[in-house]
Amino acid sequence: MDEADRQLLRRCRVRLVSELQVAALWDALLSRGLFTLAMIEDIQHAGCGSRSDQARQLIIDLETRGSQALPLFISCLEDTGQDMLASLLRTSGQAEKQGPEAIRPLDLRPGVPRPMGTEREELTVKQEPAKPTPGALATVVLRPEELWPAKPRPTVVRPEVPRPVDCGSGVFSDVCGQLSRENVDLSYVLNVDPCGLCLIINNVNFSLNSGLSPRTGSNIDCEKLQRCFSSLHFMVEVEYDLTAQQMVQAFVELARQDHSTLDCCVVVILSHGCEASHRQLPGAVYGTDGCSVSIEKIVKIFNGAHCPSLGGKPKLFFIQACGGEQKDPGFEVASTSSEDRTPGEDTESDSVPFPEGPGTSDEPDARSSLPTPSDILVSYSTFPGFVSWRETKRGSWYIETLVSVLEQWAHSEDLQTLLLRVANAVSQKRIYKQMPGCFNFLRKKLFFKT
């Protein structure tokens, strides 16, 4: 879909979400090949499954369905008797093609340019004179602030934050013995016990049709993670060998639970992965059936709109999967880590090539939007586009290091510092290199309950 059609859909989205009758559209969308049955089922599970949630997801995914998606969608609307919405899209699209002069600005008076500076300006505007005189002009002096009043800027307070010190029972204090009010406001509160739910998806065995190899050693990662997050006061649940649809369903069920009495939520995914087209969050993970689910789609299930009981609370995602199939040999430095060893036959990657062929760029799972990303952190085992290494007898480099760092330092350091330790340690392993990283949308520091 070209940019003009995307912008048209976004301008009309409010009315489409308000009026679109999605139940009548499914057969038409299928018959015209605009969506597959699996895609429609994903849309039907969007949010709480309400009509408006499904309509919103349908419009978002429609942007990914190719250059003819908009005219085909308009035809579907006409086939199902939704002529008003079809006419809205047709006429709006035609007006846009006639050029910007055909569209009257909504927020500016004709003839009055928007002032660019803050100094006093003289603007000439066309006015109706007291006595009708064709073409009469009147010169009026207007201050910019009279047309566009300036909004006051909020005062930003940046208190100095002393490093927390563990007092011995999971209670943190500063050097004076108590955390100041300002410091408390800069950290998430994880006081309840258990402090949250932790869901681990452990995909080890894949169907023959998927072409994906078994992930030997992943069970070792899973056991370490269970022990680690249990010690951090999370209720841990493990799901084994899920298809892509089952993974989505597990995430939806977790998001629908009542988290109002909990302080945090953790999702860990152990699977094969690949590159994927994206807007904000890269990568996708595979179900055991060989179908992929984008990281963006997974994270969106837990945003403030779909999971209100986790609103304002940290939602953490740890992804052990390849971001692509590139192998990084690294670059030469003055010294190497004593941990460097030659990779043997027991070292594997969770890499799957980026799928190629017709329709790749229109994969809807990889193009889902993330409208409310606050209080979210996504930690990747490797840089986008590169493989993630796993040993058959010890588990993956990333999970092994993550668990080790949490066990040694979680009692005194915040999550971002812990992940820096993980990235540094993993980056120094072996001949082939691996660079973990994260997308951090947290608003505060996070200290685990220990």
The catalytic residue among 195, 274, 322, 438 is 322
User: Active-site residue among 233, 272, 278, 306?
Assistant: 272
**322 catalytic residue (yes or no):** yes
- For residue 43, give the nearest of 81, 201, 29 by alpha carbon: 29
Give the Cα separation of 403 and 396 in Å (integer). Answer: 11
**By C-alpha distance, which of 346, 345, 322, 210 is closest to 271?**
322
Among 279, 292, 286, 287, smallest CA distance to 373 is for 279
272 is catalytic: yes
The answer to whether 251 and 424 are in contact (CB under 8 A) is no
Q: If we measure between CA atoms, which residue out of 64, 46, 23, 40 comes closest to residue 249?
A: 46
d(CA 175, CA 164): 8
All residues at 6 or more sequence positions from 224 whose CB lies less than 8 Å from its CB, including other chains: 395, 399, 400, 403
| Sheet architecture: strand order including 273-274 | 273-274, 284-286, 292-294
Which residues, listed in sequence order, are joined to residue 292 by a DSSP beta bridge? 286
Active site residues: 272, 322
